[in-house]
Amino acid sequence: MVIRGGENIYPREVEKFLFKHPAVADAQGFGVPDAHWGEELCVWIRLKDGATATEEDIRSFRRGQITHFKIPRYVRFVNEYPMTVTGKVQKFVMREMMTEELAAG
pTM value is: 0.93
Range(s) of the domain holding residue 61? 2-104
> What's the number of domains the chain is made of?
1
Confidence (pLDDT) at 105: 76
In angstroms, the Cα distances linking 4 to 11, 72, 77, 87, 91 are 12, 11, 22, 29, 18
Confidence (pLDDT) at 96: 97
Confidence (pLDDT) at 63: 84
List the pLDDT tens digit at each of the 105 positions of the chain: 999 999 999 999 999 999 999 999 999 999 999 999 999 999 999 999 999 999 999 999 988 889 999 999 999 999 999 999 999 999 999 999 999 999 997
